[in-house]
Amino acid sequence: MATDRAAAQAPRSLDMIIVGAGFAGLYMLHKARRMGLDARVLEAGSGAGGTWYWNRYPGARCDIESMQYSYQFDEALEQEWHWSEKYAAQPELLEYVEHVIQRFGLAEAIQYDTRVEAAHFDETANRWRVRASTGEEFSARYCVMATGCLSSANVPHFENKELFQGPIYHTGQWPHEGVDFTGLRVGVIGTGSSAIQAIPIIAEQAAELTVFQRTPAFTVPARNRPLTDEEEAAIKADYPSLRARAKQQILAFDIQFNERRGSEVGAEEIRAECERRWEMGALNWYGAFADLLTDPHTNEIVSDWVRGRIAEIVKDPATAQLLTPKTIFGCKRICADTGYYETFNRANVTLVDVSEKPIEEFTARGLVVDGREYAFDAIVSATGFDAMTGSLNRIDIRGRAGQPLREKWAAGPRTYLGLQAAGFPNLFMISGPGSPSVLTCMMTSIEQHVEFIADVVEHLGSNGLVSIEPTVVAEDQWVEHVNEVAGGTLLNGCNSWYLGANVPGKPRVFMPYVGFPAYAEKCRQIVAAGYEGFALRAA
């Protein structure tokens, strides 16, 4: 198949190339085709679903309610789809992806097993020339990077990794056939969201589970359960209201947001609210107080309350102490779990601190920490992602005068609205750095970006224009603004992947934009002002 494709010499000419068949790429494809564009999705995987295609580790599940973590662009789709649980598990999310592809007849325009390796702007032709791993070449007026924010695995360097005789699995590149850990000695590296979801399930299967923790994360009960028919019917009876409420929230999903500030109420009342949030579960915690992520005092009381729950649940005081985060609650994304802390009460589970004495090396039998060898049959690397920029930087993207995007972003990503970069005309990013993306319900942010891009294309077409790109001034101001907004919060106060701090050598820059409503309003104003900050060119 690949050879046949490669045999075709001339680049295939399209109106729009979309890179990635996750939720962003699929909606972009649907929208482009509705507009009559000849569009094609190029996808590295052998199937669609992006994040949900790759992250198949045990327990992989969305941390935003399914009824909200779903497309809203088509009312019939919204009404006909049935989510079985409050928080959808990975297999159900993939079923939804397949349903969407079928329903909107997208399959014929998606090309799998096709990794985009390079995208170069041809200034003379005003077109993007794209080269894929299959050897094929494509050319298109528009190139849309729907490459995902968490799709480039962070694989840390460990000495002698190749010596280990057993398998090493990364949570973000999980084998499709699944892994049975029954009776095995398993090591898990990392204690972020992915590990926190996987550990309770692996612990039930494995003979012994050893968890290597560098930094403890704050995690709260997810309180997942089946959705009742009544709940589903109530939402579906008035879906637009839920969607509208969600868009008014900073995180673009509807939670019970407490308008009160912790600084206005006493410590006792803060703790009482914590009790309520603990029962509500999951990311409802972000709504606990209006100043949770801006006032250190409020945050400290909340953090302490959650620390107290860890001490209550985990029986061994030394393990409880190790599992207790010293950082700001919510500075890293809050994790949602099912029985995570309880898992450390099991006799077959051990926690090893690698914060001060990191993993020294791998051996044929396992790995070494503090001079001691731990032997395993399998190792799970739950070490996260080169977030937001990783999936873009691994493609050789070159704009005007052959400027590489990687070079432009050497000191951190620079975009206007997280949608475009100066010097890269007609190249769009969906949920790029500088947009709310990972700080929101991704589905809502994706739809807002796809619709923005579709409007741009429409605008160019109906005004005899051929290209759009931000001005350097607008881009500079936007980068500054993104930092300013983040600077007004506590989000800069820890080594999170929002800052790129999880990847050695990555520039420390706060990447997402804080606040969906303000962002969406800014986009509306920019369009109303005739695409202010963008340079639009006629033929």
Site for ligand NA7 in 439-498 (CB under 6 A): 497
Which one among 59, 192, 432, 433 touches ligand NA7, defined by CB under 6 A? 192
CB within 8 A of 159, min separation 6: which ones? Answer: 360, 361, 362
Number of residues that bind ligand NA7 (CB under 6 A): 23
Write each residue from 158 to 177 as x if it is in contact with ligand NA7 (CB under 6 A), else as -, in one continuous string.
-------------x------
- Work out whether strand 208-213 and strand 359-362 pair parallel, antiparallel, or are unpaired: unpaired
Figure out which of the listed residues 195, 222, 227, 429 binds ligand NA7, where binding follows CB under 6 A: 195
| Residues 412/514/171/201 CA torsion (nearest 10 deg) | 160
Among 134, 139, 319, 383, indicate the residue that binds ligand NA7 (CB under 6 A). Answer: 383
Is 333 one of the binding residues for ligand NA7 (CB under 6 A)? yes
For residue 385, the minimal CB distance to ligand NA7 (Å) is: 6
Contacts of 55 (CB under 8 A, 6+ apart): 90, 171, 172, 174, 194
Hey, which residues does 209 pair with through a beta bridge?
Answer: 186, 349
Binding segment (CB under 6 A) for ligand NA7, from list 88-96, 212-220, 460-468, 473-481: 212-220
Is there binding between residue 247 and ligand NA7 (CB under 6 A)? no
- Among 354, 439, 457, 511, the residue binding ligand NA7 under the rule CB under 6 A is 354
Which positions from 303 through 332 interact with ligand NA7, judged by CB under 6 A? none
Strands (E), 330-392: 335-337, 349-353, 359-362, 366-369, 372-375, 378-381
Judged by CB, which is closer to ligand NA7: 393, or 440? 440
What span, in angstroms and rounded, lies between the C-alpha atoms of 349 and 351?
A: 7
Per-position DSSP letters for 456-525, written without gaps between them: HHHHHHHTTEEEEEE-HHHHHHHHHHHHHHHHTSSTTSS--GGGTTTSTT------S-S-HHHHHHHHHH
Using CB under 6 A as the binding rule, whether residue 90 contacts ligand NA7 is answered as no
Q: How far is the CB of 312 from ligand NA7 (least distance, A)?
A: 23
The backbone region for 533, taken as left when phi is positive above 0, alpha when psi lies in -120 to 50, beta otherwise, is left
Cβ distance to ligand NA7 smaller for residue 187 or 423 = 187
Segment lying near ligand NA7 (by CB under 6 A), choices 17-25, 79-87, 185-193, 517-525 = 185-193
Selected range binding ligand NA7 among 110-118, 184-192, 292-300, 339-347, rule: CB under 6 A? 184-192
β pairing state of 359-362 and 366-369? antiparallel
Residue 201 DSSP one-character state:
H
How far, in Å, CA of 447 to CA of 430, rounded? 9
Amino acid letter, 119: A
- Chain positions 496 to 515 lying near ligand NA7, rule: CB under 6 A, are 497, 502
Report d(CA 502, CA 156) in Å as an integer.
10
Kindly tell me which of 114 and 381 has the beta carbon lying closer to ligand NA7. 381
Helix segments in 255-389, DSSP class H: 267-280, 296-313, 317-323, 340-343
- Directed axis angle between helix 23-34 and helix 90-103, to 10°? 10
List the one residue from 126, 215, 477, 483 that touches ligand NA7 (CB under 6 A).
215
Q: Which of 5, 72, 137, 156 binds ligand NA7 (CB under 6 A)?
A: 156
Q: Which stretch binds ligand NA7 (CB under 6 A): 107-115, 211-219, 322-330, 428-436?
A: 211-219
Which positions touch ligand NA7 (CB under 6 A)?
150, 156, 171, 189-195, 212, 214-215, 333, 354, 358-359, 382-385, 497, 502
